[in-house]
C-alpha cells in the first residue's frame, strides 16, 4: 500500500468498499455524495484546468502541488483547489478502508509515542486540530521533510504536499463530510472517526516514507 503517483488524466479511484461500510460513523448517503459528487467534481475540474497543458500534464500530482509557483497564474488557484481536493480525498478513502488494525502498531506506534507522548495524547492533539479548523479544511498526521511526525491542519483543500509534508492520516472537516448525519456536531463526527481508521494502511504509509 504505497502512496500512488497520480497523473493526468486524473480519475476517480475505486472506492474499494460499500457506501454503507462505515456506518454508523459515516452514513451511506454522505459517502455516496462525498465520493461521487465532491471528489468527482474535483477530478473533473482538475482535468479541465490542465487540458491542453502538456508541460503540466507530465508531472505527477504531488510534484505539481509542491511547485504551484510554476503553474501559470490563470489556472494556479484551480489546480491548487481541485488538485488538493483530489489528492486529499484519494488518501482519505484509503485510510477509511474497512479492516486492518484499530490502533497504530509496531514502528508507527513507537514513533507516535516517542514524538507525541501516547496514542491518546496524539488523538487529543489531532482532534483539537480538526475542531479548531475554522471554516473548511483538514486535520493531518504528517511526516515533515525533516522526518518528524507532526499534527497539522490545512484550510480548504490545501494539501500537506504543498509544504513538503507527507500525509499519513487525514480527516476531512469540510461540512459536506459530516453535515447530513451530524449537522453542527463536528465534535461527534471527529470522535467517531477513530472507530473507522484503518491503521494498517496508515502504518504502510509510515513504513514507506520514514
Residues binding another protein (CB under 8 A): 33, 37-38, 41, 77, 81, 134-137, 155-157, 174-176, 179-180, 183-184
Nearest residue (CB) to another protein, 17 versus 179: 179
Nearest residue (CB) to another protein, 177 versus 197: 177
Which residues pair with residue 171 across a beta bridge?
139
CB of 71 to another protein, least distance (A): 16
CB of 102 to another protein, least distance (A): 30
Residue position matching grid coordinates 489556472:
75
CB of 74 to another protein, least distance (A): 14
Phi, psi (deg, nearest 5) at residue 169 = -145, 135
Nearest residue (CB) to another protein, 24 versus 155: 155
Nearest residue (CB) to another protein, 3 versus 133: 133
Nearest residue (CB) to another protein, 63 versus 136: 136
CB of 91 to another protein, least distance (A): 19
3-state secondary structure the chain: CCCCCCCCCCCCCCCCCCHHHHCCCCCHHHHHHHHHHHHHHHHHHHHHHHCCCHHHHCCCHHHHHHCHHHCCHHHHHHHHHHHHHHHHHHHHHHHCCCCCCCCCCHHHHHHHHHHHCCHHHHHHHHHHHHHHCCCCEEEEEEECCCCCEEEEEEECCCCHHHHCCEEEEEEECCHHHCHHHHCCCHHHHHHHHCCCCCHHHHHHHHHHHC
CB of 199 to another protein, least distance (A): 29
CB of 5 to another protein, least distance (A): 25
Residue position matching grid coordinates 463526527:
189
Nearest residue (CB) to another protein, 52 versus 135: 135
Report whether 169 contacts 152 (CB < 8 A): no
Amino acid at each position: 500500500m504505497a502512496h500512488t503517483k497520480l497523473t493526468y488524466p486524473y480519475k476517480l479511484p475505486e472506492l474499494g468498499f460499500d457506501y454503507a461500510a462505515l456506518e454508523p460513523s459515516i452514513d451511506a448517503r454522505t459517502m455516496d455524495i462525498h465520493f461521487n459528487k465532491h471528489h468527482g467534481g474535483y477530478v473533473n475540474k482538475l482535468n479541465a484546468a490542465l487540458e491542453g497543458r502538456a508541460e503540466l500534464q507530465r508531472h505527477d500530482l504531488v510534484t505539481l502541488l509542491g511547485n504551484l509557483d510554476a503553474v501559470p497564474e490563470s489556472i494556479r488557484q484551480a489546480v491548487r483547489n481541485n488538485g488538493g481536493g483530489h489528492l486529499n480525498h484519494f488518501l482519505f478513502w484509503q485510510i477509511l478502508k474497512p479492516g486492518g488494525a484499530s490502533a497504530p502498531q509496531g514502528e508507527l506506534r513507537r514513533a507516535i509515542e516517542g514524538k507525541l507522548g501516547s496514542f491518546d495524547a496524539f488523538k487529543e492533539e489531532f482532534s483539537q486540530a480538526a475542531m479548531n479548523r475554522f471554516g473548511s479544511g483538514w486535520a493531518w498526521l504528517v511526516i515533515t521533510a525533516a522526518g518528524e511526525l507532526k499534527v497539522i491542519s490545512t484550510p480548504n483543500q490545501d494539501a500537506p504536499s504543498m509544504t513538503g509534508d507527507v500525509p499519513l492520516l487525514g480527516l476531512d472537516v469540510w461540512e459536506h463530510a459530516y453535515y447530513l448525519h451530524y449537522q453542527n456536531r463536528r465534535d461527534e463526527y471527529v470522535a467517531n472517526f477513530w472507530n473507522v481508521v484503518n491503521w494498517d494502511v496508515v502504518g504502510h504509509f509510515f513504513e514507506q516514507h520514514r
